[in-house]
Structure 1
Amino acid sequence: MMDKNQSKRFIQFAAECQSSALYEHLSLHIAEDPELLELSSYAQKGQPMPNLIFGAVHYLLLNGKEHSLKNFYPSLVNQPETEGVFTYFKDFCLAHREEIIPILERKLVQTNEVRRCAYLYPSFCYIYDKVKKPLALIEIGTSSGLQLLWDQFSYSYGTGITYGNPRGRVHITSEIKGDSTPLLLDTAPPVSVRIGVDLHVNDVSNPEDKQWLQALIWPEHHERRELFARASQCVQETPIQLIEGDGVALLSQLSDQISTDSLICVFHTHVANQIPKEAKKRLTETIQEIGSTRDIVHLYNNMNDGDLHLDYVHNGKTYNHTIGATEGRGRWFEWNIVD
């Protein structure tokens, strides 16, 4: 018997993944296939089933599983086939069911969208201009910590001007929309601390972890793969403290370790949708508590809506800004702060 709720998840995913013709096509077929819906149900509670099943299959193919299915993946062949892919996909899933199930049961969807740094850069430029202190970064839901290196990358926003680190191995392009133009410093603000917390940290120096993160990148997204590869190299060259644990519970303790000469910057992107309601409440309360004794920044989305928000306490006064909408992978973002 087909699970209608599971089926709806794949139909919804198909509507949202229009930049992957392969996954859009497969999602619509999986939504009508009881065997593959049952297989997908092994995904951990709270994890997005479509991303996990596609990630698991991609992971096995990237690891060398020989099957005709690979001929449909742009990440694996230069001229992918297009006709009849679902038949091969289902055959692969059933043939490798016993390998796919453990992946669904233990792996998490933890994409590291490096291009999201395109809107982190102006956000941190803005706050540095206000407070003029080195930034102590604490990222909740850090995965492998790639976004903690936003200051190491260079950026351009369609004007022909490059900002950030001109010698950085990662260059990010994006489009700015909205009612205003952000302050973009020629060089990045100083960063004094880089701490990333996640329930499961992915170590890009570990081949299995790195391969899993690569598997979560959709097959057609060549530029995302290139950005990930370059940023992964940067992570291995830059001192970062990655902590496995509950970022909300650890926040006070971590903040206590940071000198008052630095500005605490708590941030998370596309993570809060997986944070329980009570934990979101605790996070807000903890930031307010820390803000009662020192300056602190909270940059986030998906707490209450999808917009990017910048809240901060400076000299005892609280400021709340809605920066605006962001494209899920950072290809564009709005800037609506008007000072």
Structure 2
Amino acid sequence: MTSPTAERYLRFAEVEARGLSPRYEEWARGVAADPEVVALIDRVPDAKRQVNLVFGAARFHGAPDARWPAARDWIVAHWGLLEPTILERATQTNEAARCATLLPALDRVEGPVALLEVGASAGLCLFPDRYSYEYRDADGVHSRHPSDGPSTVVLPCDLDGVAVPRAVPEVVWRAGIDLNPLDVSSADDRAWLHALIWPEHDDRRARLHAAAEIARRDPPLLVRGDALVDLPAVAAAAPAEATLVVFHSAVLMYLSADGRARFADTVRAIAAGRPTVWISNESPSLLPGTAASLPPRPDQQAVFALAVDGEAVALTHPHGRWVRGFGTSSSR
């Protein structure tokens, strides 16, 4: 097991899927130990060998939710169907629950706000003001609702060492930019979003359906474009009387180190011209300034760092299940 692909899948099993998806943990371990399947995956470009993309494509086309030997045989037999989808599609997990981990950072921003999401997918994280929240901490459960009452989307989230947000934000404009925006009114795009949700996560599938209905009724502005090129033009369309919030979750991993530096420079250039807050929710090591502001972590758990204007303020669960202040323990 010396190939980079095998190592990637084994790391996914041990760090990302462990304790969260027994099925994907087993599948990823199976791939890592199977030279024939690794050779199939290695036929696509390196950027397309992501575990979530390959497994998502398999489930999109009907792979059985079965133990690895049966799933392995299905994947090998249907690789000719999977490979074009892997090449055409991208990992665009649009987890609305990430709004629960973004809200503590949004709570710092003076409203009204204009939201601009980079890597918006179908735009489901552009509606933090339309969702209800149930924050749990040592003092109990704290509910936060939209101004017009409880939402059909309720986001539970554990807080540890982080203040409960005062209220949902006042959003007066919302837009997203993505290389390939998804349309929640498209059955094919909705099927792809469902396929990207891990097998055991029925709560996330139900939430996706409810959040997609909110987006369908009031579609946000979704711009097909490259953030490194098109972000300033989209930002310029935001109303001048609002504080612009540029935010993103699980996006920077798809950029090179140079691309990440250019992106940071682009956001700072926008902020130089108008009131702007930059909120990132990413793997801790991807932005050097953010990584430097983090305390040491003894564990290898997959977490994101929530940062405001480049300074880390908390750790978050990748699917929005908890937010941990520094000096507190994190759990799944």
Query: Does TM, scored on the shorter chain, surpass 0.5?
Result: yes
Q: Which residue of 2 aligns with 1:17?
A: 17
Q: Offset of 1:100 from its aligned partner?
A: 1.1
Q: Offset of 1:182 from its aligned partner?
A: 4.2
Q: Provide the rounded CA distance (Å) in 1 between the counterparts of 2:219 and 2:25.
A: 39
Task: Say yes or no: does 1:280 pair with 2:260.
Answer: yes
The answer on whether the counterparts of 1:145 and 1:235 sit within 8 Å (CA) in structure 2 is yes
Matches within 5 A, 1:294-305: 294-302=274-282, 303-304=286-287, 305=291
Q: Provide the rounded CA distance (Å) in 2 between the counterparts of 1:227 and 1:296.
A: 30
Larger Rg: 1
Q: Could you give the per-residue CA deviations for residues 19-71 of structure 1, whole angstroms, max 9, x where no partner exists?
A: 1111111211211212211222244432453212211111111xxx7xxx34x
Q: Which residue of 1 aligns with 2:74?
A: 92
CA 171–47 in structure 1, closer or farther in 2 if over 3 Å, else same: same
The answer on whether the counterparts of 1:182 and 1:335 sit within 8 Å (CA) in structure 2 is no
Q: Which residue of 1 aligns with 2:306?
A: 308
Between 221-230 and 36-45, report the one with greater CA deviation. Answer: 36-45
Q: 2:143 aligns with which of 155, 162, 168?
A: 162
Q: 1:215 aligns with which of 195, 198, 201?
A: 195
Q: Provide the rounded CA distance (Å) in 1 between the counterparts of 2:32 and 2:242.
A: 50
CA 51–226 in structure 1, closer or farther in 2 if over 3 Å, else same: same
Q: Which residue of 2 aligns with 1:289?
A: 269
CA 263–137 in structure 1, closer or farther in 2 if over 3 Å, else same: same
Q: Provide the rounded CA distance (Å) in 2 between the counterparts of 1:309 and 1:238.
A: 29
Q: Could you give the per-residue CA deviations for residues 126-179 of structure 1, whole angstroms, max 9, x where no partner exists?
A: 212xxxx3111110001110000111000011233310323311000001112x
Matches within 5 A, 1:221-240: 221-240=201-220
The answer on whether the counterparts of 2:113 and 2:173 sit within 8 Å (CA) in structure 1 is yes
2:316 match: secondary structure: coil
Structure 1 residue runs of 4+, over 4 Å off?
Answer: none
Unaligned 5+ runs, structure 2: 292-303, 327-332
- Identity across aligned pairs (percent)? 30
Q: TM-score, normalised by structure 1?
A: 0.83
CA 136–226 in structure 1, closer or farther in 2 if over 3 Å, else same: same
Matches within 5 A, 1:1-339: 4-15=3-14, 16-18=16-18, 19-61=20-62, 69-70=64-65, 72=66, 85-128=67-110, 133-158=111-136, 159-165=140-146, 166-178=149-161, 180-185=162-167, 188-302=168-282, 303-304=286-287, 305=291, 306-311=304-309, 321-335=311-325
The answer on whether the counterparts of 1:266 and 1:298 sit within 8 Å (CA) in structure 2 is yes
Unaligned 5+ runs, structure 1: 73-84, 312-319
Number of matched pairs: 302
Q: Offset of 1:189 from its aligned partner?
A: 2.2
Q: TM-score, normalised by structure 2?
A: 0.85
2:129 match: secondary structure: helix
CA RMSD of aligned residues (A): 2.0
Q: Offset of 1:3 from its aligned partner?
A: 6.0
Q: Offset of 1:124 from its aligned partner?
A: 1.4
Q: Provide the rounded CA distance (Å) in 2 between the counterparts of 1:26 and 1:254.
A: 40
CA 94–134 in structure 1, closer or farther in 2 if over 3 Å, else same: same
The answer on whether the counterparts of 1:3 and 1:37 sit within 8 Å (CA) in structure 2 is no
